[in-house]
Amino acid sequence: MPLSVKSLAIASAAFFLLSPAPPAHALELLLPSRPADNLDLTLSAINRAHRSLKVNIYQLSSAPIVSALKAKIAEGLSVQILEEGQPVGGLSAGERASRDDLAHAFAQNSARTSFFREMSSHGSEPRRFRFDHAKYVVADDKAVLIGSENYTDTGNPGEATKGNRGWEAIVNDDAFAEQFIDLFAGDSGKGNGDVLDIKARDLGDALHNLFPSFDVPSLNDSNSEAAPTRAVEVASVTQVVSPTTSLEGLTNLLRSAKQSIDLEQMTFAATWDRGASSSPLLDEVLAAARRGVKVRVLLNDERAFGPPRKNAKPTPNVITNQLLNETAAREGLPLESRIANVARMGVTYIHNKGALVDGRRVLISSINWNQNSVTENREAAVVVDGPAAYGYHEALFQQDWSASAPALGE
């Protein structure tokens, strides 16, 4: 039986990355109206829902996002939230307050199919994933917001707030959304013993208005001075998820490169298996450079997380940066790596996990380039094929790359 047009548009990672001819069906991708405006895009994804919302998120503490979700709960939509209950360092005070406030909102007024659930270890039951690190929203079962950023003040900063560098996008396509509906249904199910319902505590009215209400811009307001999104067409979209398809999807993306690869990464570990073997992603980056592909790698400055301890070992990004540049110099490869100058970039740190390939393909992703994220976490990403989406993100990458150029004498 021949594939439908929409089936072609969301073909498997291997087919998509190796097929030279894009499918005929153009898909709509919504991007922030300005490169740093992830909050506007996230709020627009929530605001566009009129029937249902499915939210899978690692960290949730942004007051405007919590307020927008509470509004949809109050409207009677089916709102389903799955949050990581044991993030690195534990839940922050803001995350605990957000959880309590949302639980109270669900208890006050929610649809029969609504729920708020947490993934964590409980008793002797093993977790399916080391962390539920995905970050996506499905609105009305037809639009998917996906990206690298948590729903926090740094991941989705307000107008006057300094935040992270990360990429987000909304994919408008029913067939693509079905993949995330299925993913969410499996991950949020309670049959595996690692997901529990979050219930409101006996808090009376103490948390009823913990977060103030925020005006959420309407996508239908044509008179808005600052529309929260811009639309571009892409030829196809491909879902990539850890731990099932991410290694194949990421390596196929790198192997498909014939001209250029640009990477902007929060974490890029040079080794796996506790240092016993090299990272297969690093191997693919070097293999691409050795076949003549121009490669640029921009890595987060890990000093953004605090000054290094005395006599501390080099951090993963420092090791990878040095290895790439030394190999390029030794073998004469078209490859350069830089540690980001986050101060000149105007961000707190790089939280991105993005890639750009051959003037067409863009990886928008929650997957850090280390073994844990690829093989043990639940992560979610999308590879989009389209020159307009590529041009948008390449301009942002070029700005960050130029800001991170070493000064004379360095």
Mean pLDDT over 257-284 rounds to: 97
Q: Are 83 and 103 in contact (CB under 8 A)?
A: no
Distance between CA atoms of 266 and 88, rounded to whole angstroms?
A: 15
Distance between CA atoms of 317 and 187, rounded to whole angstroms?
A: 31
The closest of 122, 109, 112, 139 to 45, measured between CA atoms, is: 139
Distance between CA atoms of 266 and 347, rounded to whole angstroms?
A: 13
Q: 308: cis peptide before it, omega within 30°?
A: no
Structural domains in the chain plus CATH codes: 27-231 (3.30.870.10), 236-403 (3.30.870.10)
SS3 assignment for the chain: CCCCHHHHHCCCHHHHHHCCCCCCCCEEEEEECCCCCHHHHHHHHHHCCCCEEEEEECCECCHHHHHHHHHHHHCCCEEEEEEECCCCCCCCHHHHHHHHHHHHHHHHCCCCCCEEEEECCECCECCCCCCECCEEEEECCCEEEEECCCECCCCCCCCCCCCCECCEEEEECHHHHHHHHHHHHHHHCCCCCCEEECCCCCCCCCCCCCCCCCCCCCCCCCCCCCCCEEEEEECEEEEEEECCCHHHHHHHHHHCCCCEEEEEECCECCEEHHHCEECHHHHHHHHHHHCCCEEEEEECCHHHHCCCCCCCCCCHHHHHHHHHHHHHHHHCCCEEEEECCHHHHCCCCECCEEEEECCCEEEEECCCECHHHHHCCEEEEEEEECHHHHHHHHHHHHHHHHHCCCCCCC
207 pLDDT exceeds 70? no
Q: What confidence tier does 25 reach under pLDDT thresholds 50, 70, 90?
A: low
206 pLDDT exceeds 50? no
pLDDT (tens digit per residue) in 237-257: 999 999 999 999 999 999 999
Q: What confidence tier does 202 reach under pLDDT thresholds 50, 70, 90?
A: very low
Q: What is the percentage of the chain residues whose pLDDT exceeds 70?
A: 86
312 pLDDT exceeds 60? yes
Mean pLDDT over 122-150 rounds to: 94
pLDDT at position 9 = 40
Distance between CA atoms of 363 and 385, rounded to whole angstroms?
A: 9
22 pLDDT exceeds 50? no
Q: CB neighbours of 31 closer than 8 A, spacing ≥ 6?
A: 41, 169, 170, 229, 230, 231, 232, 389, 392
Instruction: Tell me what the pLDDT averaged over the chain comes to.
Output: 88
The closest of 170, 136, 233, 168 to 30, measured between CA atoms, is: 170
- The tokens for 231 are 């639309």
pLDDT (tens digit per residue) in 339-398: 999 999 999 999 999 999 999 999 999 999 999 999 999 999 999 999 999 999 999 999
Q: CB neighbours of 288 closer than 8 A, spacing ≥ 6?
A: 254, 255, 257, 261, 295
pLDDT at position 15 = 35
Cα-flanking dihedrals φ and ψ of residue 68, to 5°? Answer: -65, -40
pLDDT (tens digit per residue) in 96-127: 999 999 999 999 887 899 999 999 987 777 89
176 pLDDT exceeds 50? yes
Distance between CA atoms of 386 and 9, rounded to whole angstroms?
A: 12
pTM of the model: 0.88
pLDDT at position 100 = 95
Q: What confidence tier does 294 reach under pLDDT thresholds 50, 70, 90?
A: very high
Q: Are 46 and 64 in contact (CB under 8 A)?
A: no
